[in-house]
Structure 1
Amino acid sequence: MKYYYTRILSASAIILSILLIVLGIILGQFFHLFGENVDATIQQTYWVYLLFTLVLVFVITMFVMAKILQQYVRPIDHFTGVIHQLAQGNYLVRAHNEDTATNHQLMSSINEVAQKLQGNAALRAMEQERLNTLVSSIGSSLLMFGRQGAVNLVNRVFEETFHRNGEELMGKTFKDIGLPSDIEREIETIFLTEEVRSFQSKVLLKEGVCYLEVYGAPVIGENGNWLGIVIIMHDVTELVRLEQVRKDFVANVSHELKTPVTSIKGFSEMLLDGVVEDPVMKRDFLEIMYKESNRLQLLIEDLLRLSSMERGSFEITRTPVDVVEVVQQSVKIVQAKVQEKDMRIDLHMPDQLIIPADHDRLVQVMVNLLNNAIAYSQEKTIVTVSVEEIEENVLITVRDQGIGIMPSELPRLFERFYRVDRARSRESGGTGLGLAIVKHIAEAHQGTVTVDSEVGVGTVFRVQLPTDEQM
């Protein structure tokens, strides 16, 4: 409206100037009427006539100009205001005109432009949201740097991995955001060479050591313009750990197989060469060979069983099983070893506790746990086995008074071939796979196995199994 009134005032000033000029001309035409010899009454009449005419012309002219301005200038001011708001980003504004005939084409064009701008803005907002969602959903840390090396994009995984706030990093250079030194060097190399680089970095975080597979590449625009670089860091800590487990497994299998094979081969060569003539010594050699062959057989059987479990082809047959009967049967199996060490097994169980499970597999779990407790316990100690029902689960506890386990060794206790005391385990005939098998059988029953231990006091294994079949 301010444009409209400004134009009214300007037009009024112009009209007033024109009227003054007209008045001058009129006065010039009737100048002879104001001579000294003209009657004063006639002069007064002409003065009144001139003033009346001037006022009338002024009023008519103002009315006509107001109508012209209202019809032509006011819509233009309105359209100018609408365009100004569109330029400021308000794409919801629309032009309107009460006179549908006048300036209708201009109004329609402005509204069409506003509608298209609104649609484009909505499309850009949707694409930006999709981009943000995609970047946030990437399972790897992502950083993007501009041409000057300043951060202009950070995703959620990077924030969680490095415990940094993405908003605080925006605008900072790659040297100011606390990246590991080797990653900084590689980023600088990418800026200098504008070439793709891939490398692995070992990073020390609050959670521990983390291995990152880092990929860096320049970002090229549609016209071939170099826009910056993008860095993607994928966490391969678990892959590195699995690779180390694989290496350890190969080394342990080789060692475990080598020992009995070497013994069997050595003693058999001595017997074949006729070096040993004493019948008693021959029998001792044969007993050692038999013992080592049994050990080799057990190792191979456990390896095949564990391999079957890990391949997913391991299946259990659920039938109603009395956990109390399973424990009693397992105790009978290990009774000879208990007597050899003059130990005792105390049982704390109800009369009966039925769960859906695989009977033979549960016996294998209990035998492995009992053998483990006996092997790592001193003579004349007690192994306590308890069975109780807690809510919808049965809890089997095996507690010994053995040497205990260091806290640092507990996380690796269920790994294949991992032994707390290798010498004692080997003397007892263990393969180092028992606890790994226990864990797989428990998980196949949708259960869990946990361990607590104190050095010099003993170890407690807890196996928890569901009382109802769970899919």
Structure 2
Amino acid sequence: MKRLYSKILLAFAVIFFVLLTGLGIVLGQFFHLIDHQITIEVQRKYWFFLLVILSIAYLISLFIAARVIRQYVNPVDQVTRTAEMIANGDYLARTPIEELGNNNELGIVVNQIARNLQETSILRTMEKERLKTLIESMGSGLLMFGREGSVNLLNGAFEKTFGLPRDSLIGKTVKEIGLPEGIEALIEDVFLTEQVTERQIRNGHSFFNVYGAPVIGRHGNWLGIIVVLHDITKLIQLEEVRKDFVANVSHELRTPITSIKGFTETLLDGAMNEPAILEDFLGIIQKESDRLHLLIDDLLELSGIEREGFYLQYDAVNISNVIDDAMKIISGSLEKKGMQVVLQGESQIEVEADKDRLIQVMVNLLSNAVNYSKEGTTITIVTSFTVDEAIIEVKDEGIGIKPAELPRLFERFYRVDRARSRESGGTGLGLAIVKHLIEAHGGKVAVESIIEVGTTFTITLPKESA
């Protein structure tokens, strides 16, 4: 703007100089016409006077021109500087309106443009942060390819799922990423067909529901594709558990029902007329009926524990009293196998818990210890505590459990020794009930075992309920 100001002033000076020069020539011609009437001395005075007047007039005109030009150029200069700052991204820049004089309308318009750009920039930043937060908060992996086929967007869930660093993926094609083959094939299909595609894909022990769709712009132009990966591994596992549960329940119910039905038909066919056979068959029917009743009770118990409305009746409970009550319940089984229970550790430990449920837990653990131990062995119960927790250990001298079977021990209907479990009347639900009841108290249950040495179940309970 200063350069423009100098050019305008120079042009004005040249024009004014030309005008004055023309005026001087005209006056010179006039003096030449009348020089025969004026003496040389007088002509010199006139010429000197004329030069002085012209010089003064030239300087005054330059001064006036400079003031006038500056009055109009300075406001434009200020507006230009503001516009340059706005163009460089400084939307907070403003033109001082009071300094613009008659040109304040231009400043007002530039300031309004700056305010509009500032609001647009703030809105765009907010939308960008919202979009970023939304994408990063998604529990599913997100991957976006541009129209050229390279990655231009992904979220943390995708990065965590596949263990691929984000910075190394941006700009790479699908072949360069190293995704599982099924996901690569889906992405290529979406690129080729430009149609929405959805598939379930397995990757090792994980399962994904992969959704791919083309990204279409506002005017119908194709911008790329977007891929969303939902991890459905837990859903698949739950479905498998449900199928196993239905199969196991059907099998467990079929066995006693088949036995009852078979022996009943045999009796009706004439065996009931023989007292010895009748007594044996009725004993077997009663045993199978008791087993069926126990199985149904355990199923109802487990269903009730897992139900949303299940609650515990908390009270101050002494662990020693719980163990004593449980031992009374299984005393018959202990005497039958000539086994004894040894108590070790602290005798006075109190927790906030549901006493009846804790007795149920101890009965299940002690019953397992009796059923899977040899006659004449010892069951050891060790109690201890920390500042916040009570610890109960139930150790037997039984057959032990293989390390590979320990992770599945608390599953419904899972039996380490199916023949012995059924012979002892077990339903395969006892440890599942134990796990659910302890977790309902906010505690934990763990198991350690050595083959032919014994098994130790460790229960950890908080002293105060949550």
Fold shared by both chains (TM-score > 0.5): yes
| Cα offsets for 1:436-457 (capped at 9, x unmatched) | 1111222232322222334444
SS at match of 2:153: strand
In 1, the alpha carbon distance for the partners of 2:273 and 2:140 equals 70
Offset at residue 135 of structure 1 (A): 1.7
1:75 touches 1:97 (CA, 8 Å); kept in 2? no
**What corresponds to 2:344 in structure 1?**
348
The answer for unaligned runs of 5 or more in structure 2 is none
1:201 touches 1:211 (CA, 8 Å); kept in 2? yes
**What corresponds to 2:261 in structure 1?**
265
SS at match of 2:256: helix
In 2, the alpha carbon distance for the partners of 1:454 and 1:175 equals 49
In 1, the alpha carbon distance for the partners of 2:359 and 2:304 equals 18
Do residues 301 (structure 1) and 290 (structure 2) align? no
Offset at residue 306 of structure 1 (A): 0.8
**What corresponds to 2:9 in structure 1?**
11
Matched residue type, 1:174: V
**What corresponds to 2:329 in structure 1?**
333
Of 331-340 and 298-307, more deviation after overlay is shown by 331-340
Offset at residue 379 of structure 1 (A): 4.0
Residue number among 284, 287, 291 corresponding to 1:288 in the alignment: 284
Residue number among 191, 208, 233 corresponding to 2:229 in the alignment: 233
Q: Check 1:286–1:29 CA distance in 2 against 1; reply closer, same or farther (3 A cut).
A: same
**What corresponds to 1:376 in structure 2?**
372
In 1, the alpha carbon distance for the partners of 2:74 and 2:245 equals 87
Offset at residue 46 of structure 1 (A): 5.9
In 1, the alpha carbon distance for the partners of 2:436 and 2:127 equals 47
1:16 touches 1:58 (CA, 8 Å); kept in 2? no
In 2, the alpha carbon distance for the partners of 1:118 and 1:312 equals 52
- How does 1:40-439 map onto structure 2 within 5 Å? 45=45, 48-49=48-49, 51-204=51-204, 209-274=205-270, 279-439=275-435
Offset at residue 194 of structure 1 (A): 2.0
| Cα offsets for 1:327-383 (capped at 9, x unmatched) | 122223333433444433211144443434333222211111012122333444332
Of 188-197 and 12-21, more deviation after overlay is shown by 12-21
1:393 touches 1:465 (CA, 8 Å); kept in 2? yes
| Cα offsets for 1:282-316 (capped at 9, x unmatched) | 43333222222211111111011111111234333
Q: Check 1:46–1:9 CA distance in 2 against 1; reply closer, same or farther (3 A cut).
A: farther
The answer for unaligned runs of 5 or more in structure 1 is none
In 2, the alpha carbon distance for the partners of 1:151 and 1:364 equals 57
TM-score (norm 1): 0.88
Of 65-74 and 83-92, more deviation after overlay is shown by 83-92
In 2, the alpha carbon distance for the partners of 1:11 and 1:290 equals 122
2:5 touches 2:70 (CA, 8 Å); kept in 1? no
Offset at residue 178 of structure 1 (A): 2.5
Offset at residue 234 of structure 1 (A): 1.2
Q: Check 1:63–1:202 CA distance in 2 against 1; reply closer, same or farther (3 A cut).
A: same
Q: Once the two structures are aligned, what percentage of the paired residues are identical? A: 49
Of 361-370 and 152-161, more deviation after overlay is shown by 152-161
The RMSD of aligned alpha carbons is: 2.9
In 2, the alpha carbon distance for the partners of 1:408 and 1:256 equals 24
2:75 touches 2:99 (CA, 8 Å); kept in 1? no
